[in-house]
């Protein structure tokens, strides 16, 4: 039966298996075994459901055979692992009574495929999303769209927000939207790919996006468009920048007429390339680019070899190259080029290419040619003109020299007799004259002196203009110059009732290097002018101020500003500029009214200029003028060394009688501090409370009677009034002198820095001055005048004088030498020795003593120690030395000294003396000493 069944199976041309009614496999044909990739042994003795299981789990496999209700076929899943996902369609039909035939055919597993495809799709979407690509799908008919999460994220929209196709389009820039619609329409109609870039403004920032899409058709009609969206803002920016850079480079290269080139050495052959700019400049066709022969053919024949050599040299050495050459264009015109290149080496250090630029220098060359031509023409013209000018200058200089010489000679010649005139007038003023004559003589003298000043000015301006004036370089004190000038002008200011002020910068160095005479001349002219053009009236007090300021101060140099300010007639703008020209005054009427030559300011201007400074003027007609001469100065080691403090460590108290400390008190304090003084400034009320100690007291007094009384009261308590100075303005000076007798009173306005310091020095010194009246001993009547013998000298009948005669008489027997410079002591010791029975000889000092010792033969020397010429100590030393050298016996030498200091005796012994007596010598002591030493 089984064999029969097998026979039947073999004859069937489809894969099939024979089973019993109990699903036991009986046999399988070859095709079934091949389909199931299984051997016959494995199929036999197995139940069908050992190999297969129903694919649809809802179907019961047991009721499948011989069941009329059962379907005609079922799907079986094969259990073999290698073919796990294989599905077989099993159709059952009877083979015979015992066996059933199962026909197998392979079916595809759609569900599995679907699952796999879903996974693939999901991966694909994830990949797309992760690469920042948004996905969109548009239903063309409905105009409704679906957007991926990434799509929304790119447009900065929350994924759960509703977003429509219309909303998307509205967000596109208007200009771009028009184009987008056209592109989209064209894409749908022409089936061309959709690829479009557009802008959107998101959160006030412009973004660039790229949208791509593909249309899907259904029944020939466009159904949907599916596409992507990417953010290309960065790309766009890079692209824009790149375009800009390229465009900029191209413009620059074109504007600069610059082309690029490259030469490569391949197999010992040169391969050349150049860009289209260069090609255009060379006048070649586009197809000529890179054809070396073409390029060589247009190079000027004279330049070809040189160029070849330079290029070869650069290839062999690796050095940069630079050369100039000419190109002959088709129209035979010549262009000038310069090529600059750099050699590029490979890893082995071998040069394999040259890269560089070529610059069209034709215009430059042409311009140079023209310039050379023009230069030559100009030089020719300049030479001609210079010759003319030299001639004219020589003429002018000759004329000027003649004028200068004449003026100098005239001025000099006039000055000599004028000195005679002034001298004579001086002598005349000393003689007895009537008041009228005196007036006339004064006028004549003033006029003569003014004439000499004018002559001096003329000489100066001539010297300056002729370049003959040389500035001195010496150390001087600017403060002294100011003091000197101010002193000259004080009487003028008093006479004209003008208030003259001086404010000196306390930082002004005391000594500088420069020309003091010329600085004085500048100040003299400017202050003189200010006083001349200023006056006082009932309404306005005329004021002239000199203000000095240190504008720049370095270690070795500086700039000082000398500003002269007045409230005089002033000068209008028009006339200000010409003021510094010689012989020019502001207006002719000025000369008539005020006199003068107009030389002063010209001299000031020139001198300032020569010193390297400048002079400026600020003025308004009717309101006054301010001339500011800024002069540079030098400081040297010498000037710095001279800058010593003249009031070092002196304690000065300043009392300002005004309610508050005035600027004057502050400035004075600065000046004095600069000189090393310790200054304390007080108002009167402050000082009354403090009554501080001082070395010098400076009182700045005003005209207030109460203040005067307060100060008088205050001064009662001060014993040493010699250390007090009262400074007061000129008008109150007499009142102050009356009120404060025996106290120094000085004028405080104007008071220069020098005056103040000198005033303080004098006050300080006066504290040390000995009043000679107090020390005058002339009242001691010591003359032996018979009519005035106060001391009864007539009664003295002995001859007190130790005359030469007396001395000589005694000297014949003298064995003692007395060396003493004080006549009284001489007489005293002579008397004492006489009383003791000794004769002596006298010497007035050590020098005389030594000489007498050499000449005489003394048993003893009595010597003072402190004497002129040679003192007692030195004399002894010399005598001892002589005694040694002459091998003489030592003479005893006794010191007689008034010094009673301890150590004196030791010093006497050390000097070679034998003993010591104190002055005055007691007779008993002298006797003992003689006994001891006189042999």
- 821 near other proteins, rule: CB under 8 A: yes
Which residue number, 69 or 778, has a Cβ lying nearer to other proteins?
A: 778
Which residue number, 205 or 778, has a Cβ lying nearer to other proteins?
A: 778
- 782 near other proteins, rule: CB under 8 A: yes
Which residue number, 439 or 834, has a Cβ lying nearer to other proteins?
A: 834
Nearest to 356 by CA among 293, 316, 310: 310
Please tell me whether residue 299 adopts helix, strand or coil conformation. strand
d(CA 605, CA 460): 12
Q: Is 90 exposed, middle or buried (0-12, 13-18, 19+ CB in 10 A)?
A: buried
**DSSP-assigned letters across all residues of 470-506:** ----EEE-HHHHHHHHHHHHHHHHHHTT-EEEEE--T
Residues 892-931 that bind other proteins (CB under 8 A): 898-899, 919-923
Residues 866-885 that bind other proteins (CB under 8 A): 866
DSSP state of 47: B
In the complex, minimum distance from the CB of residue 768 to other proteins, in angstroms, rounded to a whole number = 5
Q: What does each C-alpha distance from 421 to 40, 424, 430, 441 come to in angstroms?
A: 168, 5, 15, 11
Q: Which of 314, 619, 752, 832 binds other proteins (CB under 8 A)?
A: 832
In the complex, minimum distance from the CB of residue 876 to other proteins, in angstroms, rounded to a whole number = 19
Which residue number, 9 or 917, has a Cβ lying nearer to other proteins?
A: 917
- 393 near other proteins, rule: CB under 8 A: no
In the complex, minimum distance from the CB of residue 783 to other proteins, in angstroms, rounded to a whole number = 10
Contacts of 214 (CB under 8 A, 6+ apart): 193, 194, 225, 226, 227
Which residue number, 308 or 676, has a Cβ lying nearer to other proteins?
A: 676
- 718 near other proteins, rule: CB under 8 A: no
d(CA 621, CA 623): 6
Is the peptide bond prior to 883 cis by the omega test (within 30 degrees of 0)? no
Nearest to 568 by CA among 523, 514, 626: 626
Which residue number, 348 or 780, has a Cβ lying nearer to other proteins?
A: 780
Which residue number, 749 or 821, has a Cβ lying nearer to other proteins?
A: 821
- 651 near other proteins, rule: CB under 8 A: no
In the complex, minimum distance from the CB of residue 754 to other proteins, in angstroms, rounded to a whole number = 22
Which residue number, 538 or 768, has a Cβ lying nearer to other proteins?
A: 768
Which residue number, 505 or 821, has a Cβ lying nearer to other proteins?
A: 821
Which residue number, 99 or 764, has a Cβ lying nearer to other proteins?
A: 764
Which residue number, 56 or 784, has a Cβ lying nearer to other proteins?
A: 784
Is the peptide bond prior to 435 cis by the omega test (within 30 degrees of 0)? no
- 823 near other proteins, rule: CB under 8 A: yes
In the complex, minimum distance from the CB of residue 655 to other proteins, in angstroms, rounded to a whole number = 23
E strand or H helix that includes residue 437: helix 435-465
Q: Which of 204, 775, 787, 902 binds other proteins (CB under 8 A)?
A: 775
Total residues at interface with other proteins (CB under 8 A): 39
- 110 near other proteins, rule: CB under 8 A: no
Token pair 């207030």: residue:
704
Bridge partners for 513 per DSSP: 475, 634
Tokens encoding 27: 């046999």
d(CA 520, CA 463): 18
- 792 near other proteins, rule: CB under 8 A: yes
E strand or H helix that includes residue 799: none
What value does the CA radius of gyration of the chain take, rounded to a whole number of Å? 65
* Contact predicate 90/102, CB 8 Å: yes
Dump strand ranges (E) for 129-204: 133-139, 144-147, 194-202
Q: What does each C-alpha distance from 485 to 492, 494, 551, 667 come to in angstroms?
A: 11, 15, 22, 20
**DSSP-assigned letters across all residues of 192-209:** PPEEEEEEEEETTEEEEE
Which residue number, 788 or 885, has a Cβ lying nearer to other proteins?
A: 788
Q: Which of 835, 884, 888, 932 binds other proteins (CB under 8 A)?
A: 835
- 793 near other proteins, rule: CB under 8 A: yes
Q: Which of 24, 825, 859, 869 binds other proteins (CB under 8 A)?
A: 825
Contact string 462-491 vs other proteins (x = CB under 8 A): ------------------------------
Tokens encoding 206: 């412009």
Contact string 739-768 vs other proteins (x = CB under 8 A): ----------------------------xx
Which residue number, 166 or 784, has a Cβ lying nearer to other proteins?
A: 784
In the complex, minimum distance from the CB of residue 922 to other proteins, in angstroms, rounded to a whole number = 6
Phi, psi of 177 (to 5 degrees): -60, -40
d(CA 208, CA 234): 8
In the complex, minimum distance from the CB of residue 915 to other proteins, in angstroms, rounded to a whole number = 18
Please tell me whether residue 539 adopts helix, strand or coil conformation. coil
In the complex, minimum distance from the CB of residue 775 to other proteins, in angstroms, rounded to a whole number = 5
Q: Which of 349, 430, 780, 885 binds other proteins (CB under 8 A)?
A: 780
Q: Applying CB under 8 A, which residues contact other proteins?
A: 767-770, 772, 774-775, 777-778, 780, 782, 790-793, 795-798, 800, 821-825, 827-828, 831-832, 835, 864, 866, 898-899, 919-923
């Amino acid at each position: 039966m089984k064999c029969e069944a097998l026979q039947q199976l073999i004859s069937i041309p489809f894969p099939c298996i024979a089973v019993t009614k109990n699903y036991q496999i009986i046999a399988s044909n070859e095709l079934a075994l091949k389909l199931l990739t299984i051997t016959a042994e494995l199929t036999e003795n197995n139940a069908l459901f050992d190999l297969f299981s129903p694919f649809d789990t809802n179907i019961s496999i047991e009721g499948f055979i011989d069941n009329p209700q059962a379907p005609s076929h079922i799907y079986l899943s094969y259990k073999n692992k290698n073919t796990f996902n294989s599905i077989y369609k099993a159709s059952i039909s009877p083979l015979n009574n015992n066996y059933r035939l199962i026909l197998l055919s392979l079916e595809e597993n759609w569900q599995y495929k679907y699952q796999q495809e879903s996974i693939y799709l999901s991966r694909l979407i994830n990949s797309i999303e992760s690469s920042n690509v948004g996905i969109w799908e548009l239903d063309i008919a409905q105009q409704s769209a679906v957007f991926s999460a990434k799509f929304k994220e790119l447009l900065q929209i929350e994924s759960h927000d509703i977003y429509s196709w219309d909303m998307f389009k509205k967000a596109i820039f208007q200009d771009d939207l028009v184009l987008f619609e056209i592109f989209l329409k064209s894409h749908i109609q022409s089936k061309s790919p959709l690829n479009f870039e557009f802008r959107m403004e998101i959160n006030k920032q412009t973004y660039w996006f790229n949208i791509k899409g593909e249309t899907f058709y259904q029944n020939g009609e466009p159904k949907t468009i599916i596409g992507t969206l990417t953010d290309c803002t960065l790309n766009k920016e890079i692209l824009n920048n790149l375009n800009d850079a390229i465009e900029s480079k191209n413009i620059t290269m074109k504007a600069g007429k610059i082309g690029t080139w490259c030469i490569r050495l391949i197999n010992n052959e040169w391969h050349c390339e150049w860009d289209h700019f260069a090609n255009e400049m060379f006048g070649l066709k586009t197809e000529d680019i890179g054809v070396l022969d073409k390029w060589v053919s247009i190079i000027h024949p004279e330049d070809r070899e040189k160029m070849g050599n330079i290029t070869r040299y650069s290839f062999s050495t690796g050095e940069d190259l630079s050369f100039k050459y000419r190109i002959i264009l088709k129209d035979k015109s010549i262009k000038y080029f310069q090529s600059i290149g750099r050699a590029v080496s490979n890893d082995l250090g071998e040069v394999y290419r040259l890269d560089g630029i070529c610059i069209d220098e034709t215009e430059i060359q042409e311009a140079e040619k023209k310039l050379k031509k023009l230069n030559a023409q100009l030089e020719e013209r300049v030479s001609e003109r210079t010759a003319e000018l030299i001639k004219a200058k020589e003429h002018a200089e000759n004329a000027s020299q003649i004028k200068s010489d004449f003026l100098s000679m005239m001025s000099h010649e006039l000055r000599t007799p004028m000195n005679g005139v002034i001298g004579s007038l001086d002598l005349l003023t000393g003689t007895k004259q009537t008041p009228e004559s005196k007036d006339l003589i004064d006028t004549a003298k003033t006029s003569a002196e003014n004439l000499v000043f004018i002559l001096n000015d003329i000489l100066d301006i001539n010297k300056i203009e002729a370049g003959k004036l040389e500035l001195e370089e010496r150390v001087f004190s600017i403060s002294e110059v100011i003091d000197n000038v101010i002193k000259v002008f004080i009487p003028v200011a008093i006479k004209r009732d003008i208030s003259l002020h001086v404010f000196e910068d306390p930082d002004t160095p005391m000594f500088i290097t420069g020309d003091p005479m010329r600085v004085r001349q500048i100040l003299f002219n400017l202050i003189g002018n200010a006083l001349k053009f200023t006056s006082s009236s009932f309404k306005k007090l005329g004021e002239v101020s000199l203000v000095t300021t240190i504008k720049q101060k370095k270690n070795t140099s500086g700039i000082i500003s000398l500003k002269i300010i007045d409230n005089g007639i002033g000068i209008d703008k028009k006339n200000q500029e010409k003021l510094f020209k010689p012989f020019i005054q502001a207006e002719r009427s000025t000369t008539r009214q005020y006199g003068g030559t107009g030389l002063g300011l010209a001299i000031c201007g020139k001198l300032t200029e020569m010193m390297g400074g400048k002079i400026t003027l600020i003025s308004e007609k009717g309101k006054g003028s301010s001339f500011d001469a800024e002069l540079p100065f030098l400081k040297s080691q010498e000037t710095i060394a001279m800058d010593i403090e003249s009031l070092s460590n002196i304690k000065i108290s300043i009392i300002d009688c005004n309610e508050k400390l005035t600027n004057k008190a502050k400035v004075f304090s600065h000046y004095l501090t600069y000189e090393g003084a310790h200054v304390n400034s007080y108002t009167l009320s402050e000082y009354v409370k403090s009554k501080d100690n001082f070395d010098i007291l400076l009182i700045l007094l005003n005209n207030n009677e109460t203040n005067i009384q307060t100060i008088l009261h205050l001064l009662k308590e001060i014993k040493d009034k010699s250390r007090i100075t009262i400074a007061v303005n000129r008008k109150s000076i007499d009142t102050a002198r009356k009120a404060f007798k025996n106290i120094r009173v000085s004028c405080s306005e104007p008071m220069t820095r020098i005056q103040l310091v000198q005033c303080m020095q004098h006050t300080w010194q006066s504290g040390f001055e000995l009043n000679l009246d107090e020390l005058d001993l002339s009242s001691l009547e010591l003359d032996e005048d018979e009519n005035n013998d106060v001391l009864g000298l007539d009664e003295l009948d002995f001859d007190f004088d130790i005359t030469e005669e007396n001395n000589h008489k005694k000297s014949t027997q003298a064995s003692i030498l007395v060396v003493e410079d004080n006549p009284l002591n001489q007489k005293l010791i002579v008397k004492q020795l006489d009383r003791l029975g000794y004769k002596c000889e006298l010497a007035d000092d050590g020098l005389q003593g030594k000489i007498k010792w050499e000449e005489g033969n003394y048993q003893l020397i009595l010597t003072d120690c402190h004497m002129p010429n040679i003192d007692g100590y030195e004399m002894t030393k010399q005598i001892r030395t002589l005694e040694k050298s002459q091998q003489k016996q030592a003479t005893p030498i006794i010191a007689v000294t008034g010094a009673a200091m301890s150590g004196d005796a030791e010093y006497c012994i050390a000097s070679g003396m034998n003993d010591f007596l104190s002055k005055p010598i007691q007779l008993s002591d002298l006797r003992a000493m003689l006994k001891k030493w006189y042999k």
